[in-house]
Homo-oligomer: A and B are copies of this chain.
Amino acid sequence: MEQQSFSYQQLFDFSKDIFLKIGCNTEAAERAAQVLLSADLRGVDSHGIARLSGYIRLWEAGRVNAAPNMQILHETPSTAVVDGDAGLGLVVAPYAMQVAIDKAKIAGTGWVSVQNSNHFGIAGIHAMMALEHDMIGIAMTNASPLVAPTFSIERLLGTNPIAVAIPAGHETPFVADMATTTAANGKLEILQRKNQEAPTGWIQDKDGNMSTNQHEVKNGGALLPLGGDREHGSHKGYALGSIVDIFSAVLSGANYGPWVPPFVSFLPVADNLPGKGIGHFFGAMRIDAFRPAADFKQHMDQWITRFRNAKTTPGNESVLIPGDPERAMEAERRKSGIPLLAPVIADIQKLATQFDTIIKFN
């Protein structure tokens, strides 16, 4: 499929301008653009600028508040509940993660559950905020229901990702960022574009039978929890996705399970919702609340080096450390630009026209 590359700065300036045009202040617009584009840099194309128009449609539908009054509703020395005031998750999430980090500075750890938010981009970038403070960062969020629990035909969970960022010494940090499904929805979208079948264990059809039809989710089917089926541990993926849902939403007072509002603005939001908006959960643990940071980092380096140098299975060059592929992608794209597919370019050109702004081409 036709594509064209843009520099990070081009896309940042454009996204920032759009966020300013809908009413974000400068700080929020820059933060939102930075978080959004971290997905493109790290190769998670489904969560980057391709979603910008989706956020704008939600703003048009009155479901996103561009100037939210975010606040702490309740707190203890190591916890807080944050009300995102229907703000962009791209802005609410860094605010809440900062609360967790500030709590950890004093109490050793900080844990923040968030209600009344919207989609927050990629989880990893929020968890990584902890790294420069010599803290372990954790980020998770619930999301629109696309996933069927083990034995269920109904879609009751989102792809509910978990991200954990752990600092190291001279080695690169350990950054895991994973949907709790066998494959993230973005992976399925790639197969749809390429017109390729999905592997078994990724999706089921509307009657609950395993399917390899890459379009099945649009036909009433569902994504499957990590594991795929009961024999391969899908009850574990289901439990993990449920834990994310409960920590993010039942703890905070957001919507959970099948009541999570859809990301797409053209789908109606259900009546009688049990909570407000979507929910996130953040954690920060100060390393030296456990042991001296220098000792920890030395052992993390030993851990990482040992795993990296393990003997590999046939056809694979080395064992990867979580975060390696995304780091390599970011280095490449900062140098050579971010490739966008023709439909995504058309989409942002429409936004440019609508908001009378300019996307500068090479």
A353 within 8 A of B: no
A52 contacts the other chain (CB 8 A): no
Taking CB atoms and an 8 Å cut-off, the chain A residues in 190-229 that contact chain B are 199, 201, 204, 207-209, 226-228
Q: Distance in Å from the Cβ of A239 to the closest Cβ of chain B?
A: 4
A320: Cβ under 8 A from any B Cβ: yes
Q: What CA separation (Å) do A314 and B295 show in the bound complex? A: 53
Contacts of A178 in B (CB 8 A): 233, 235-236, 239
Q: Does A176 contact B (CB under 8 A)?
A: yes
Q: From B77, B174, B182, give the contact of A227 (CB < 8 A).
A: B182
Q: Which of A39-47, A60-68, A285-293, A334-342 lies at the binding interface?
A: A285-293
Q: Mark A307-322, 1 if CB is under 8 A from B, else 0.
A: 1001111101011101
Chain B residues with CB below 8 A from A183, complex form: 233
Contact flags (1/0) for A217-256 with B, using CB distance below 8 Å? 0000000001110011101111110110111001111001
Of A15-23, A27-35, A144-152, A262-270, the segment with at least 4 beta carbons within 8 Å of chain B is A144-152
A350 within 8 A of B: no
Q: Is the CB of B176 within 8 A of A239?
A: yes
A204 neighbours in B (Cβ, 8 Å) = 313
Q: Which of these binds chain B: A6-14, A86-94, A296-304, A354-362? A: A296-304
Q: Check if A120 is an interface residue, CB within 8 A of chain B.
A: no
B314 and A208 within 8 A (CB) = yes
CB interface residues, A 56-102, toward B, < 8 Å: 74-79, 81
Q: Please, how many angstroms separate the alpha-carbon atoms of A201 and B182 in the complex?
A: 13
List the B side residues contacting A113 at CB < 8 Å.
290
Residue of B nearest to A177 (CB): B239
Known: A236-B178, A237-B226, A285-B111. A78 touches B81 (CB 8 A): no
| Interface of A toward B, CB cutoff 8 Å | 74-79, 81, 106-109, 111, 113, 136, 148-154, 156, 164, 166, 174, 176, 178, 180-183, 199, 201, 204, 207-209, 226-228, 231-233, 235-240, 242-243, 245-247, 250-253, 256-258, 274-275, 285-287, 289-291, 295-296, 299-300, 302-303, 306-307, 310-314, 316, 318-320, 322
